[in-house]
Structure 1
Amino acid sequence: MNFFNHILKSSDKKNAVFFSRLKKITELNPVSKEVYQRAFTHRSSNLKDDDGNLINFERLEFLGDSMLSIVVSALLFEKFPNAKEGTLTKYRAKIVSRENLNSIGKNLNLIDFLDTESKINFGDNIHGNLLEALVGAVYIDRGFKKCQYFILKKIVGDYVDLDQLQHMILSYKGLLLEWGQKNKKIVQFKTANDQGLDPKFNYSTGVYLNDKLIVKAREISKKKSEEKAARRAYHAMNIKSKI
């Protein structure tokens, strides 16, 4: 289906609700409405332009990722004038991490806007992908200054405590392994397929300290299972007071 015909096919009421909610999220007036439609169009919709090119949010997602990186980098450079390059890099990674962007996108309920023909579970990353696509759309529609405003006020301002970045944990697993290396402790993660009573949780992870089991956790993926187990071990071992 042609993209413009697809937009026209949508009801005026539905579009009005879409742009009204979008304005509340961005605090900006959309000018080029087509770019926002594109920002929430999934490839499964199989929409094409007049030249037969697929239309979806992926290019805007790429652009939004770059915009987030440069705006956040500039913010941190100004906010922490004495911080070293390595520290600034860690702070930026915490803000633009996949987990953090997924959480923000989920809180903004961006998935409600998604236009797709598929009913599959897209996973958690869809929330962060849509957030990046929205950032890209704002840049295309309103330019750098307005996009910068959206990022600083509605993303960083509403969801990131800059004064607590030092204590914000990006990965419990990484933190646990780093602690083990510093303290000459052997920290191991042993993960296996788990067909337990709950079919949603397919993986089970045990965290071992010097070959002694500390905690276990189950999740829907290997990565999530290991991260959940690491978080439990972090608290069970009171790692915070030992770093």
Structure 2
Amino acid sequence: MNRAHLERRLGYRFRDEALLDQALTHRSAGHGHYERLEFLGDALLNFVVAQMLYKRCPELSEGDLTRMRAALVREETLGSVAQDLALADAVQLGGSALKSGVYRRRSVLADTVEALIGAVLLDADIPTATACVERWWGPRLEALPDPHSLKDPKTRLQEWLQGRSRPRPEYEVVEMTGPPHRQRFRVACVLGDDEVRAEGQGSSRRGAEQNAARAMLEQLDA
């Protein structure tokens, strides 16, 4: 790892190099790993993103702000930030984890980003760590999605029905297949007032229900 190059990408130079090393150390490498820093960085990240959205989107409701924040701090977004910062080659792992390619998993890279936020906070202060988050997340704030598009299918279906004074849908498990540790669910979404029916499948009942609701929305839109 070229420390100077990494710090240029981060836009921050550490005074305590041990904090940077810790933020980049996976638990497979032994003691002094990043998990405590990750805890700290996660807390600050959620606050800073919430504050950014609150200031930037005065027209949004609490529910919309919550969904927007969830989209901006989820693993996929953190992994994208890690990619921008080229962290994959900087993470320090133990031998077995290195051979298995763990360092390229999005979850590990997401954890590393949160740990780096925590490390900057301890190395400097809240304003400095906040500035890092604002800089790393800036492009994502410029491309905010429509809050309605972030609602899950079951919520969107329920709101569609409520807006038309129709009763809530019912979800029925039609079939469960596979061994207990790898089950598949097939669920039907039924509208009782006109007997419209749609089905969805998933590796969990909740996932199958969401897919059934999505299929129902497609029927209703059609």
Q: Match for residue 113 of structure 1? A: 90
Q: Match for residue 46 of structure 1? A: 30
Structure 1 gap segments, 5+ residues each: 1-14, 48-54, 196-201
State the TM-score, normalizing by the size of structure 1. Answer: 0.65
SS at match of 1:210: strand
Q: Match for residue 125 of structure 1? A: 107
Q: Match for residue 150 of structure 2? A: 169
For the pair 1:146 / 2:125, whether they are aligned, the reply is no
Write the distance in 2 (CA, Å) between the matches of 1:23 and 1:189: 53
What's the CA shift for 1:39?
0.6
What's the CA shift for 1:208?
1.9
Q: Is the 8 A contact 1:98 1:128 kept in 2?
A: yes
Structure 2 gap segments, 5+ residues each: 192-196
Q: Which moved more, 1:66-75 or 1:120-129?
A: 120-129
Residue 206 of structure 1 aligns to which amino acid in structure 2? R
Residue 166 of structure 1 aligns to which amino acid in structure 2? P
Write the distance in 2 (CA, Å) between the matches of 1:189 and 1:133: 41
Query: Quick one: higher RCO (CA 8 Å, sep 6+), 1 or 2?
Result: 2
The structure 2 residue matched to 1:134, chosen from 113, 116, 125, is 116
Q: Is the 8 A contact 2:29 2:93 kept in 1?
A: yes
State the TM-score, normalizing by the size of structure 2. Answer: 0.69
Equivalences, count:
207
What's the CA shift for 1:73?
2.1
Q: For residues 192-226 of structure 1, what are the alpha-carbon distances to aligned partners after superposition, in whole Å with 9 as ceiling and x for unaligned?
A: 5648xxxxxx55343422295534356xxx49x92
**Aligned CA-pair RMSD:** 3.9
Q: Match for residue 194 of structure 2? A: none
Q: Is the 8 A contact 1:180 1:187 kept in 2?
A: no
Write the distance in 1 (CA, Å) between the matches of 2:175 and 2:106: 21
Q: Match for residue 20 of structure 1? A: 5
What's the CA shift for 1:63?
1.1
What percent of counterpart residues are identical? Answer: 21
Write the distance in 2 (CA, Å) between the matches of 1:191 and 1:41: 44
Q: Is the 8 A contact 1:176 1:230 kept in 2?
A: no
Indicate how the Cα distance of structure 1 residues 209 and 160 shifts in structure 2: closer, same or farther if over 3 A, else same. Answer: same
SS at match of 2:150: coil
Q: Match for residue 52 of structure 2? A: 75
Q: Match for residue 38 of structure 2? A: 61
